[in-house]
Each structure stands twice: as structure tokens, then as C-alpha cells.
Amino acid sequence: MKRNALVFVVLVAAILGMLAAGKYLDRTRKHGPLKMVGNVKGVQAPDFDLATLDGRRVKLSDFRGKAVLLNFWATWCPPCKIEMPWFEELQKQYGKDGLVVLGVAMDDTEPPKIAEFAHEMGVNYQVLLGTDKVSDDYGDVQYLPTTFYIDRNGVIVDKAAGLFSRGEIENDIKKILASSHNSAAPQTSRASAGNPWAPPTKDAP
């Protein structure tokens, strides 16, 4: 009986200790500046340099002046599958107005399997291979799908975590398309060092 009571107390203490340690580590393990936490609306979208399924490199800043729908997804994510045909349709519908859809695959799977999946889903918009860095830069994207709506100046207009309706997605697309490209967009970023949308500047002689 005494032994049981002792075991019981030790186990409870161990569990409580683990919970406390988890909270402590949560506060201390992160190093460097926090990125994209809290409300990200109005924040400059961090630039990235990611590989496409066919091995090219794509930067977010390649699309300056365009409205960008940046969708984080994975092959193992059934809700992501629901959105993909919508994104394809919306890209066709609004592409002429300046919409660019970029899918960022957060799989550990080999690129050919991701490509096969995207093909089966009828996806023709650009699919990029996600990295821990881009996930971290965008606020540790763990919840898929997560979509960022980025206006023509590279500012995040909205973030949608989870599956939303086609109508809600289209409304957000209209918002980012309505923005006008300001070549002197303010550097309001909390997440990136520079403004990828700013026009290139010449080096001083």
C-alpha cells in the first residue's frame, strides 16, 4: 500500500513536471526574432526562394505588381484537396487581372509524387517545394491548408487557416486584386529584412 502511494505520487509529480517543462521550453527554445506571429494583416510578406517541381527557382519577389495567393498544402491533407480545383478555376478566371496562385507543398514526399498528386488534382498553377524556413518565416505553418492573400505591394491582406468556402476565397482574391501597385511601398515588415516589392536600386558609385 505504501509502495503504491509512493508510485502514484511520483507519477503525478512526473507528469506535472513534464507539463511545466513543456511550457518553459516553449518560452525558451525559440531563438532569433519571432516571425509572423499574431495578426499578420498589413505585414510585408517575407520573400522566399523555393524550388518548383521541375527544378526551377521561384521567389515571391518575382511577382512584384501581381496579387499573390500563397497556399500551403500537403498531399496528406484532405481539406487541401477541396480547395485546389477552386484555386485552379480562380487562377484561370482572374489570372488576366494579375492573380498568381502559388501552392507550397509541405510534404516530405519526393517531388515526383507531389507532381503526380498535383496532376491528378488538375493543378496547373505553380507548385513549390516547401521548406522549414518558409514555414518558419510565415509563422510556423502547421495548420494546413493555410493561405496568405498578398496584394500587389507584397502586403498580406488576409490569412486563412483551414478550409474556407469558395466564395470567401474569391472575396479575398478580389481584395488583393483591388490594390494598386505602389512602387514605393512602405517597409512595414515585422518578418522580413527588406521589401521584396521595392523597385531595384542601383548601387551607389
Partner 1 sequence: MTKRAGTVAAAAVVFFLATLGLAQAPGGKQSYVVMAPVGNVQLRAGASTSVEMDFRIGSEFHINSHHPKADYLIPTVLKLNVPEQLTVADVKYPAGEDMAFAFAPNDKLSVYSGDFTINAVLKAPANAAAGSYPVKGELRFQACDHSACYPPRSIPVQFQVTVIKK
CA 185 to chain CA mean position, Å: 21
Size of site (CB under 8 A) for partner 1: 37
Tell me: does residue 12 bind partner 1 (CB under 8 A): yes
Tell me: does residue 112 bind partner 1 (CB under 8 A): no
Tell me: does residue 16 bind partner 1 (CB under 8 A): yes
- DSSP letters, 72-104, are EE-TT-HHHHHHHHHHHHHHHHHGGGTEEEEEE
Tell me: does residue 80 bind partner 1 (CB under 8 A): yes
* Phi/psi-derived region of residue 80, left when phi > 0, alpha when psi is between -120 and 50, beta in every other case: alpha
In sequence order, the 6+-apart residues with CB closer than 8 A to the CB of 121 are 81, 84, 85, 88
| Smallest distance from partner 1 to CB 173, Å | 19
Tell me: does residue 163 bind partner 1 (CB under 8 A): yes
Q: Which of 69, 88, 128, 145 binds partner 1 (CB under 8 A)?
A: 145
| Smallest distance from partner 1 to CB 29, Å | 7
**What are the two backbone dihedrals, phi and then psi, of residue 89, each rounded to the nearest 5 degrees?**
-65, -45
Tell me: does residue 81 bind partner 1 (CB under 8 A): yes
In sequence order, the 6+-apart residues with CB closer than 8 A to the CB of 88 are 101, 121, 122, 123, 124, 125
Please give the residue ranges that form the binding site for partner 1 (CB under 8 A). 1, 4-5, 7-8, 11-12, 15-16, 18-19, 22-23, 25-26, 29-30, 74-82, 106, 117, 140, 142-146, 161-163
